[in-house]
Structure 1
Amino acid sequence: MDILVIGGTRFFGIHLVNELLSAGHKVTIATRGKASDPFGDKVTRLILDRTDRETIKTAIYWKKFDVVYDNLAYCSNDVRNVLDFAKCERYILMSTTSVYDKHLETKEGEFNPIDETLVWCERDEFPYNESKRHTECALFKHYKKMPSMAIRFPFVIGEDDYTKRLYFYVEHAIKQIPMYIDNLGCRMGFIRSDEAGKFMAYFADKDFTGYINGSSDGVISIKEILDYVETKTGKVAILAADGDQTPYNGEHEYSINTNKAKNLGFEFTTLQDWIYELVDKYIELAKD
């Protein structure tokens, strides 16, 4: 298959491209041309600015793809700026579980983008979760004739996580920097970056349309992670009301139901099988 990946030069986008190449697909990546990538001559490259409608039109208008993966659509206008010009058989949107009012066992049907009012907007006009709702609404309501799907991930983490959100906690504990955590015991869901890429690639040649959750099995709290850091290093995290605000503050306890994906044949890893190995690597990094 001939596949375009928008946002394939870092984090789970790299894993997505590698999975697609391993499956024998022909891959084109859309990039601003400013960042290097590890693919060499295995991919074709298009130069565009994801926020500039005219550069998108110039880059893709005369191209045809079987599938377009869009990892960089953060608002409804982002979807419009691609689908007004893209000639493709399917469009796959990287979305987020932030579209939900999350709780334990959050299921796909709890947010139906068709029920939303269509709002054309830019990235900075709404909070992230609301903007992604508008993104999905634009896709499924305005471009309803396009076979498409939205893949909803919780927090994506890994050694290559450029946001360093989970690392933030480990580093602060190791370096004894005070931090303020408002949800210490709340259990949350995660997915590892390579698994996120694998899950997205799984649907390249599938007929599934609609929206679907992707998450590693299980949940973990920040308290469990910090307790592990203390056990491994003897460092007790300093918690203080005037400490640094932590990245996952404001999140409530939740888990993500992935039965729909499992019924389609995808098997997720178990969070507890790999999370502590990742924390070990973060510990060593924080010690440097």
Structure 2
Amino acid sequence: MQKILVIGGSRYFGKHLVTLLRDAGDEVTLLNRGSAAPPPGVGRLVADRDDEGQLLAALGGRTFDTVVDQVCYTPLQAAVARRVFAGRTGRYVMTSTMEVYDPAPPTPEARAYAEGKRQAEAVFRGEPEDGGPEPFGFAAVRTAHVLGGGREEFTGRLEHYVGRIAAGTPVDVHAAPYATSFIHHREIARFLQWAAGQKFTGVVDAASHGALDVLGLCELVAEQVGRPAHHLIVEQGAPASPFSFDRDYALDNGRAAGLGFGFGRVADWLPGAIGESINASINASITEPLGEPGH
């Protein structure tokens, strides 16, 4: 049994991670700003992770075997965590993203997200400020695009395809899109649970086997929607629909597989994830309240 702190973990695959750890017999504590209560059997700490004093007060004298950080987006957040958890944990696992490999994010928001994750990783990997030993073993899990879960997948990326193809609206794609990497939301939760119990440090990529380009994704969605997919070609470097890329940065899951984690295949779970998204869209349209007459 390990004592594990999960920072964040109150929505999407973070919820699955927390329950997996609990059900495996670990002593799990969830730290967030009070936005959501943890499931039964999981401890709770409430603090704003950006506020170092508040974080220290919430932790008190607690120590952990592993911290899994689901919501570290900036180097400032990483610096606070590095100071606060030095001497409190033997291992720190940060959920990062494949976007750190992206050579040309298409929007200012995407560039800021990727750069924030890159810099946060760099802070955790930096030399100790006092020249002493490392504060803890650090691992960065760079996850592929996470899909599945219907409405739980709050980014709406699969619904984008379901909605457009069902309506006959063209999907914006590049002329020769590169394949990209995906992982199911429950698989990344299992991977993070597994990673929390390992000893490795450094960067590890987490992706299901089998990269897929946007045209292949459209074909799968069209097959289930029952309508053909139409495409609108965008210029090189221009924004397009989610998962259409004019550059290559698919993940290599070889290190994680070599360390002992068995990934599934995109081809095995993606049709089910598309079906969940279709059902979520149908249910949303059924339950959407009607407007007043004439509205």
Same-fold status (TM-score > 0.5): yes
How far off is 1:51 after superposition?
3.0
Query: Which one is further off, 52-61 or 73-82?
Result: 52-61
For structure 2, list consecutive stretches of 5 or more residues without a partner in the other structure: 104-108, 129-133, 286-295
For 1:162-181, list aligned pairs within 5 A.
Answer: 162-181=154-173
Query: Which one is further off, 65-74 or 274-283?
Result: 274-283
Corresponding position: 1:147 with 2:137: yes
How far off is 1:201 after superposition?
1.0
Partner of 1:23: 24
Of 260, 263, 272, which aligns to 2:258?
263
Structure 1-normalised TM-score?
A: 0.83
Instruction: Answer whether contact 1:152 1:214 (CA < 8 A) is retained.
Output: yes
For 1:176-215, list aligned pairs within 5 A.
Answer: 176-182=168-174, 185-215=177-207
Partner of 1:111: none
Instruction: Answer whether contact 2:32 2:47 (CA < 8 A) is retained.
Output: yes
* Partner Cα distance (1:125, 1:182) in 2: 18
Q: How many residues align?
A: 264
Q: Deviations over 1:158-182 (max 9, x none)?
A: 1121112122112221133444223
Of 109, 114, 118, which aligns to 1:133?
118
Corresponding position: 1:59 with 2:58: yes
Partner of 1:219: 211
Instruction: Answer whether contact 2:100 2:117 (CA < 8 A) is retained.
Output: yes
1:132 alignment partner AA: K
* Partner Cα distance (1:197, 1:63) in 2: 25
How far off is 1:245 after superposition?
4.9
Please provide the CA RMSD for this pair.
Answer: 2.4
1:23 alignment partner AA: A
Distance 1:133 1:251, change over 3 A: farther
Q: Give the 4+ runs in structure 1 shifted more than 6 A.
A: none
Taking only the aligned residue pairs, the percentage that are identical comes to 29
For structure 1, list consecutive stretches of 5 or more residues without a partner in the other structure: 103-123
Instruction: Answer whether contact 2:29 2:44 (CA < 8 A) is retained.
Output: yes
Instruction: Answer whether contact 2:22 2:28 (CA < 8 A) is retained.
Output: yes
* Partner Cα distance (1:4, 1:183) in 2: 45
Distance 1:22 1:196, change over 3 A: same
Query: Which one is further off, 58-67 or 84-93?
Result: 58-67
* Partner Cα distance (1:56, 1:125) in 2: 28
- In our comparison, the structure showing a higher alpha carbon Rg is 2
SS at match of 2:207: coil
